[in-house]
Chain A
Amino acid sequence: MSKSSQKQFWNNAQYRALFFQILLVAMLVGFFWFIGRNTLANLENRGISTGFGFLSLKAGFGILQSLIPFDESYSFGRTFWVGLLNTLLVSGLGIIFATIIGFTAGVARLSNNWLISKLAGVYVEMFRNIPLLLQIFFWYFAVLRTLPAPKQSWVAGDVAFLNIRGLYLPQPLFGDNFCFVGWALALAIVVTLLIRRWAKKRQDDTGKQFKMFRVGFVLIVGLPLLVFFAIGAPLTWDIPKLQGFNFRGGMTIIPELTALLVALSVYTGTFIAEVVRSGILSVNSGQTEAASALGLHKAKVLKLIVIPQAMRVIIPQLTSQYLNLVKNSSLATAIGYPDLVAVFAGTTLNQTGQAIEIIAMTMSVYLVISLTISGIMNWYNKKIMLVER
């Protein structure tokens, strides 16, 4: 390279980077200016006013399932919260069931029982490779839509009924003093945590072990029960009854929720099973052998050696599966479960025509959930990262 060309400023990496980035910013600004101008022109032509004023208008439509009071007289803003709560409900329940299914299948796949491990493998390979939407449709249209009419309901012990309109369960009605039971439970949990801290410290200092599980169990289950009966068992059940063509009273689980929940848990469960399996396999077999050599029995090896190390691999991937589940719960809109996308980005959008505001609000909800959880995950990852030499 000759000396003169080195002095040319366009050969200077810093200038080039600066120039390139200015170009990039200019292009981006130009792009946003272009779509912004078009959007404003289009909105004006179609006579759509912008802004969030529509949120306080009267909605005028009903929603199939709502965790907070809602009817036609509430506002569009309220539909957002109804949808959001329904999304959170199905996601929360889905996460619980998917975790149970996934951990069971993941552990079963590593079982030394040949048949069980093969069965778990078949479950994982089968449901992982079929699109989730198809599974939702299958449970909803092919299974739940073929259930009998209310009069021919499937009955479990005269208190629970299953028919095409949903699953009817007895609803607990809490008496006046029931809050004391809740307080007792909270107290029991706090006391258990304190005892656990003390027990761990004592074990670290003296090596004496403490039967933590039994004490904790007795406290957390026993204390609330004791309080419950001491204040005169203030709990009654509202049992659903067939009146005319439908059931009244009790608690209804709509078939849309059931179908979505089953499909989401079964589908996500396969991915969690793989995560759990890879996590357990990632623990070096030398660790287990060393633990056995120290004289720990099988359960202790799992509890003290394998699980803590496997968790380091499992937790980050598990969280990303949970996030997927939350995002996939938006498929609810395909079968009409009133989640955020179906209610807010569906019905409310159609009624008001405020596409930009509504899509932006819907997307930000998912973005906030995702970014918060990945933020927590990054912090957790840093905390548990192996400190290497």
Chain B
Amino acid sequence: MAVLVTSPSPSLPPPANSVGVVGWLRQNLFSSALNSIFTLAGLYLLYSLIPPAINWALFQADWVGTTKEACTSDGACWVFVGVRIKQFLFGFYPASEYWRVVTAFSLIGVLVAWLLIDRTPKKGLVGGFTILCYPIIAYYLFYGGAFGLPVVETYKWGGLMLTLILATTGMFFSFPIGIILALGRRSSMPIAKSISVVFIEFWRGVPLITVLFMSSVMLPMFIPENMQIDKLLRAMIGIIFFQSAYMAEVVRGGLQAIPRGQLEAAEALGLSYWKSMVFIILPQALKLVIPGIVNTFIALFKDTTLVLIIGLFDLLAVVQAAFADPKWLGFSVEGYVFVASVYWVSCFSMSRYSQHLEKKLHTGHAR
């Protein structure tokens, strides 16, 4: 008896251990004996670190209270951070003037968000306002001395506020200087080129601490004796020089990525050097290096902690000083975790944003 099969038999399902959860586990966690050992070791590591850490930070922690006595359990004592949070944010800035700091930071927050979000109108106007008017507004808000705002001396500035001021001013001024230096380094004029190279390599070759030492010890000697430079301003000058050298290298990377044809075309159209730079080369080059600029900003933001060494009270320094309070001895871990999380959240979100930009801006210019 002949059996005639007219249709192909249905294909068998894949083996049960290569699909679904089991399949995923086999493929990604237990693909070989060695991998299984690694997986188990990793699981053990997680098991021994995560539950105690969560218990310490959340479940066994003390959250409310005003004194050390409120911390009775084994876990973290967040009361310490809560009691001093104003000092951590504003340093010794007078409490009645906090609104000025909040206003200034909210304003820049809105302006930056306006510039970064795609769909907002009138970017040119807002950008011009941010670059030209905002610094003046911010100066009078922070320092005062006009419009009926009392003066707040810079030695009272501190905490997160000082950290942000240092990072943003450093960025704001180092950006144009960096562009000039980068153009100088690629210039055909030998003297301009060598001055740029020496400047960039000098500041990139020394650690920021020596720069800060230099600005706090040597700078007062460089100026006429009857002139005084504020301690904060001295640190800012050091940071700006240091940062412009790094910025210059980032911008130079962008300039190098622009094909020569762009400059040649601009020259063929009869544009002068500055016109071809401002209208043709820089817009393309800067767009390419936005992620690099964000990365240098992250580095600068982390580096501002170093001003602690020359006696300025940034976020880390204020928290470090709080550990010495005899009423609150022994809470250094809580303080460090607080500072670390502030920095971590800021830096991590900025680096994610820069990765996002990198993808968005990838229009095929880079060689």
Contact = CB atoms under 8 A, between A and B. Distances in A.
Q: Do A and B bind each other?
A: yes
B192 interface: yes
Given A17-B189, A42-B221, A367 B206 contact: yes
Nearest to B42: A115
A6 B291 CA distance: 43
Nearest to B351: A129
B98 interface: no
Contact of A131 (B31, B205, B316): B316
Given A125-B348, A133-B305, A328-B207, A359 B214 contact: yes
Interface in A249-293: none
The size class of the interface chain B forms with chain A is 35 or more
B298 to A, nearest CB: 8
B42 A355 contact: no
Nearest to A367: B205
A180 interface: no
Contact of A113 (B35, B218, B333, B348): B35
Interface string A332-366: 01100000010001000100000110010011001
A137 B336 contact: yes
A116 B39 contact: yes
Interface residues of A, number: 51
A45 B220 CA distance: 13
A367 B245 CA distance: 14
Interface in A22-38: 24-25, 28, 35, 38
A134 to B, nearest CB: 6
Contacts of A38: 221-225
Contacts of A356: 218, 221
B13 to A, nearest CB: 24
B221 A39 contact: yes
A330 B206 CA distance: 10
A114 interface: yes
B214 A138 contact: no
A389 to B, nearest CB: 16
A141 B339 CA distance: 14
Interface of B: 28-29, 31, 35, 38-39, 42-43, 45-46, 188-192, 195, 201-202, 204-210, 213-214, 217-218, 220-225, 298, 302-303, 305-306, 308-309, 316, 320, 323, 332-333, 336, 339-340, 343-344, 347-348, 351
Given A131-B316, A137-B320, A334-B308, 10 more contacts: A39-B222, A112-B28, A116-B38, A128-B347, A129-B344, A133-B305, A134-B316, A137-B316, A138-B340, A331-B209
Interface of A: 17, 20-21, 24-25, 28, 35, 38-39, 41-43, 45, 111-116, 119, 125-126, 128-134, 137-138, 141-142, 327-328, 330-331, 333-334, 341, 345, 349, 355-356, 359, 362-363, 366-367, 370-371
